[in-house]
Structure 1
């Protein structure tokens, strides 16, 4: 081995350990205490409160980086203490280590002013009540420095009021890396304002004010709710609740505690949680307590809405460790989980008491329109059905006075039909009066209602209470797979008409757009979601007389082509399917209201939607598919597959044709090739009844209950027209 390789394999020589310079040590320590101007202000406010101040005035320039000044009327600082004021570990709060266990003041380590003097130009003007004048002192790196070169560094007498004024200039001037990271002065100012706001709310008997920008001003005689109203707006006060709780034990014990909370009810909604936490009057943060309190509102506020919570917790100092964070941002205390749980219970109980007084504010908007003249422009409050603005409205406005603002012109290609009473496709063709229609016997539940009826009269379908993990996971999957834009189209659509019942095509209008949709695919998804929504609590569709299960399955199996891969005969397949359903009839009855008697009679079917009766010609096919298509060994897959098959059974349209057991929403060839001339009167009446159900029952139910999945966009929705685009085409012509 040569010398070069030997030298490469040798470990490097150890570097000598040196003692860091005192200035470097202090700057490193200063970076742990003073992160940004807001953290410096927090330390200064706490010093003012420790000094017994009743008035605090803050001046800020360039987000606190150029200037940060705080003035109070507290007890002041003695002249003899000024020389060591900015040295590290100098304090009037502690004398020995045992004092930490009963500390009740904000500052106690003596590092705040020292840290500020190492990263800024620090000056102090202070006066005690016993002294005849105030004294000014300037500091750098923890030591007194002269105000001008050649002068003495001792404090100079000057004019001043009782109390202390601390001025920090050019913060982080000697730490360019930290300074470059804080160039956004508006953000730093917002943080300063946030700290000042929180202390102003917790100390309503102390007046807070800002001199450079009066964004915050409180009086010294207010209460906490009044301070919240002044600083967070008047709207929050009417939704504010109060709850106090305590340990209930002897307050002299170390485990004793009391809490006071002000929080909003269900009417208030914020874009993010506003959480103010004070422990023993110290502003701190606790992600665990915050998450626990937010959990109280999970079932109260909608998704994306958050509450306002102010919590003041007073605990025996012997149970609190305040010396766990350099900036005292966090504290630890005993029995944290138990205390948090009791506070959450108190908030939940108070919210439950006020749940009956919830109010709602609402306004009526044109669905998807661009109409610029609203109710506020003409001073009229409209209730009930929306109507378009016409010439009569203009004349009425003129009569009311010339000062009324005239509504702006709305171009024709931006007008949106908003009334369901307007003409549909069906109204353009002559139709029979509903009194002349004899509904099909299997659809006798359809009321003989005129074609102008707009909505189906069915009760609200509430989500059943279910504790099965499988059902909960399926419901969560529906919410997670929701396509926001398509769901909004369904919620706010206007039904135009049915294009083709055999091909399951309908037209919908949303805003100025016209969509061609496969109502069969949409109905299948709707019935699946309704089945999942009502799991275990279905209404029943009674079959009278009840048909035999085996006979129904035989009819379906006879119509199917048997695969060459199976060795079973058709009678054996029938027996196997019947046996599967008979052995599970208790489960089918309990969860799905599909009642099969011990002697094999189908007594009841689940009713998914009131006023809607499925085509019972599909019943044999539905019962047959439950055998091979449902995985009865897996709970989640079983429930999901059963509800899918049930939804397919409910889909409007003709009976499935000859193809295999695969799911298909396409009509049979024999049905689709029928001409109008060969259709019987009974078939025409059946088609009429089916169209009525699609328009007046299915689509209103989709508007109310359906969370449209993204999969429907692939082949089941097509935009066929857009009014502004059509006007452009006409203009070119």
Structure 2
């Protein structure tokens, strides 16, 4: 049974009156189009810094930028006379008339960024030009400068500050609850901000960037002024940088000459008819692939998105990469400004330009040609497994080529005497897949080094186009010392040497890090697999390195020097056991400070620990040149030097000090991070942020983990091979055999 429609009353048919919206509503609607989340606000502020000619940009955040977003630059600054209208809508120094849009070469031009932010957050600006004697501070609400404190004039106030501008955004979206509730967690918003800073740091490699959270001393992103390839290596890792190709594309000369001939006269040119465009691309070769495409596109220095250009370049990898894998691509296109329309998107995320298909096709063709020129995927392989025995043919009196255990080819000039040798069959369970003397698992995926005598062999040439890069390490020499206490400690290390364990560490092949929190790694020796506590191993390594370099340490200079007493106070305040002491916490801090200052000459001479009379720490001992300790542990290290070092006995003083120094050097989180908190943080990141399985950092924590794993594999374990004399104490729980190939074969034979 159908229902009859509800009749419409005559009052509802009357047209509603049109009203003008309130100015505050208009501004908030406009702000919502420009500022979507903290990352979009940061993007606008970053572009202002770059437009101001900044060479150093520092970003500080709290709660993913929702509570605090501060960006500081050393650019040209803002004149005091311009501060009253700084946050008004459509106030800009980039345009004066509409025709200027056709020649725009800067990031910002509409004058909406600061205005939009002031309507949805608390905005504070501190700026200073080179001509100003002091900096000027202004606070904005809804686009207008407000007095501070209340009741005073609304003029900007003088304050201390450096050349440049510092913009502070607090309580973002405090008056737009719907937008605030739609945002993701603070960790995900922070990851988006890091992604924006990373992309601008790649494109602006000549500018140093720093991004950190409030309350942390170690930045999550820090780049010096460098080249594009160096920035890619620092931000995306060695895995991307080592497989990076580059190409520069511009219009063909013949086409440019034809267009020049068609010009109507001297001094006249039509948009894009002079072929004035150039593109620079950095992209990975066939040896690199990841789960998701990393595509950075800049057009006239503007970070934009273009699905058409992205698909065209991805098509170049169709027959190169395995299905389901993607490359890394960074593309920068410089066009004639008259051919680009930059005002087609509220957030400037997209631009339109003339001859887009033709330019895209030229870039894609150049990338495809470079990929073809770089060759096919290369792998390093071993022609004969270690332990194999080759037979020699003596029937005709000629030597037969055979292969040694390292996989190199040798040819015997004369046949061996006696009857023909019988090849000894090696069972599979006794074959060693890698040689611990000169091979690692990672090297199996790198091209084979050039061998002499292979120049006439086409297959050999094809396999030796890329030579494996070997890391050069400095030899750590043992210092000359005649102190009886030091020579006794060195002799004790030699006497406590465990031969089998030392041999295991000298001949191991690193497999991988199992757990950074529990400090567990896996190594292979011959046909056996061992689970080792790399924290305990590195602590013993650094103790022996300290003993080896006694009195001749390299220095790790601190600039500026760190205050001794406040650092000790941080560690004392975090220590729970101080309540059991008869001294108060300030007395404990003063006592430790006086102990270290009174022995500053001895600490500087023997250990390169520099402490001034004013109580400033200006240098630390550097145990190994390729490894820098986690300076978050510095307060704990300085505090422990007071109660843990026996200052009354020379030998015990040196021994206990070097033990504390080794504990300070062990890689891992700072002293205030517990296992549970670190593990919880990893679990939260795994749930909220998708990580790249090939090692590309998706967040700050993953970047730190990748860096720590790289140092453990490429710095610390190679150092153990060279310098560690393993004591028997490490066998109790720090080195455990977890698998043996012959034993595994016995198990499977019973199945």
Q: TM-score, normalised by structure 1?
A: 0.49
| Bigger Rg over Cα | 1
TM-score by length of 2: 0.48
